[in-house]
Amino acid sequence: MKHILVVDNQISNCDLLSKFLTKKDYKVTTTTRGQTALEMLQKRRYDLILAEYRLPDISGTLFFDQVDKWDPNAKMILMGKGVNLKNAIAMIQKGVKNFIEKPLNPDELLEAIQEAEKITLPQMEDRTSASNTQQAANLPSDMVTGKSKKARAIIEQVERVGPTNFSVIVQGETGTGKESLARLIHQKSLRKDAPFVAVDCGCLSREIAGSELFGHEKGAFTGAAFQKTGFFEQANGGTIFLDEIANLPMDIQIALLRALQEKVIRKVGGSKEIPIDVRIIAATNENLLQKSGTSNFREDLYFRLCEYTLEIPPLRERPEDLPLFIDFFLEQTGKELGRPKAKFCKEASDLLTEYYWPGNIRELRNVIRRSTLFSDSESLIGKDSLPPRITTYKDTLFSADEPSESEESIPTVKKGDLRSTALKAESRRIMEVLEKVRYNKTKAAEVLNIHRKTLYVKIKSLNIPC
């Protein structure tokens, strides 16, 4: 029997939905609070989540994000009255299976549930097995089975810092798997049986950041109809992961620094100090050391967080691990779609190997998921199934080797003349930028305000080692 979790802010709605769905041979569990639902989801897996978009203690968007981070395969249908169409579409694009307008139409509801059921997913009856599967599904394979020297070095550092209570900063480009690494650190710690709460700081504006992180009291501000438990309280005893921490507003950074130093928090609108025991893992795709001390990030907060720093190398720097990732995501996608495991033809496989992967592991995963949809009857993925940016990447590099008609060819540097002096200065500037962005040529081109092709031309013509 399929088990549905109903989350609605009205007890009467919960009762009605429970009776209706029970008659349709579903097992139903209900709750009126989002935080309670999240706690229930940590203990077991439900076949479907039917949730109100406007919950009293957490927004529908944040509720979905929390569930998705814990179990990306979770099926969720949102419902609500008078919800903005743009918001509904945005939620469906994020992964919600359907969005139903209230008052509910029984036939429409049943049809939406049946449509969601058609998506084949691995069956997991309890949260323990779900947690194990989550590690296999969410942790990028370089964190678990990577055989490159850089991958092994990262795992060795995780083994060393994991059992400690050190605060950790995880630095790496977008898509390298910073949250997955944070989860691995948590699993290696003595807190592994306590909560792991992931927070996307980029989504926290100044108006809601304090409430989301530390909670608020009833009546603290307009619309605060209920007391709210913040992320720090939810993570008490465990680990809180602050993704893209550099995006936090400055006043929230001050409150965060106090929470870390004093190990207490205070709800918005409250006077009581609440003791907390939380390990902090922060992530960023920027160099926090360079950013600290500026008007954007507090230096004292940086030095409080950086008890240990882990640098995740980009995917292009560990090509020997690429086949492992490809194989893992092909298998994962096949299970998700209920298909045999696909494979790439040699031409397509060569293109994947030659590609630059600026979006790293996340980009690779998305490319494989998309390409698998176009596999043929023999589960073979051809070149035409790959996105144009990958199939044309090699040609782009070749064209970058030769200056276009609009680009002046850069001559060999000769000693003594004014032009050679300018070229030397240009070479030094390019080297400085490349070092700052850790040789990410896409970022370097942005900083230098030139096209990436032009940067490649200059690197080759000036014999810049990189």
CATH fold group of domain 3-127? Rossmann fold (3.40.50)
CATH fold group of domain 407-461? Arc Repressor Mutant, subunit A (1.10.10)
Interatomic CA distance for residues 9 and 426, integer angstroms? 62
Give percent of the chain above pLDDT 70: 86
pLDDT tens by residue, 267-298: 988 889 999 999 999 999 888 887 777 778 88
Architecture per CATH, 318-391 = Orthogonal Bundle (1.10)
Element holding 390 (H helix, E strand): helix 388-391
The pLDDT score that the predictor gives to residue 127 is 36
Q: Is 101 helix (H, G, I), strand (E, B) or coil?
A: strand
Provide the whole-model pTM. 0.59
> For 198-205, what is the mean pLDDT?
84
State the pLDDT confidence band at 7, using cuts at 50, 70 and 90. very high
Q: Is 276 helix (H, G, I), strand (E, B) or coil?
A: coil
Whether pLDDT at 347 is above 90:
yes
Interatomic CA distance for residues 101 and 91, integer angstroms? 14
Q: Do domains 3-127 and 318-391 have the same CATH topology?
A: no
Q: How far is CA 351 from the centre of its chain?
A: 26
Q: How far is CA 348 from the centre of its chain?
A: 27
Whether pLDDT at 426 is above 90:
no
pLDDT tens by residue, 284-342: 988 888 777 777 888 999 999 999 999 998 888 888 899 989 998 999 889 888 889 99
The pLDDT score that the predictor gives to residue 129 is 36
Least confident of 37-41, 166-170, 322-326: 37-41
Mean pLDDT of the residues in the chain? 81
CB contact burial 138-177 (16+ within 10 A = b; e otherwise): bbbbbbeebebebbeebbebbeebbeeebbbbbbbbebbb
Query: What DSSP letter does each residue of 145-169 carry, written as one string?
Result: T--SHHHHHHHHHHHHHTTS---EE
CATH fold group of domain 143-311? Rossmann fold (3.40.50)
State the pLDDT confidence band at 89, using cuts at 50, 70 and 90. confident
> For 168-193, what is the mean pLDDT?
91
Whether pLDDT at 397 is above 80:
no
Query: What DSSP letter does each residue of 31-91 carry, written as one string?
Result: ES-HHHHHHHHHH---SEEEEESB-SSSBHHHHHHHHHHH-TT--EEEEESS--HHHHHHH
The pLDDT score that the predictor gives to residue 174 is 84
Domain boundaries, the chain: 3-127, 143-311, 318-391, 407-461
Instruction: Say which residue, 63 or 157, is predicted with more confidence.
Output: 157
pLDDT tens by residue, 113-164: 888 877 544 333 333 333 333 333 344 433 444 678 888 899 899 999 999 9
CB 280 within 8 A of CB 167: yes
Query: Which residues 6+ apart lie within 8 Å of 374 measured at CB?
Result: 381, 382, 384, 385
Least confident of 47-56, 129-138, 165-174, 247-256: 129-138
Sequence-separated contacts (24+) of 405-412 with Cβ below 8 Å: 407/454, 407/457, 409/461, 410/457, 410/458, 410/461, 410/462, 411/461
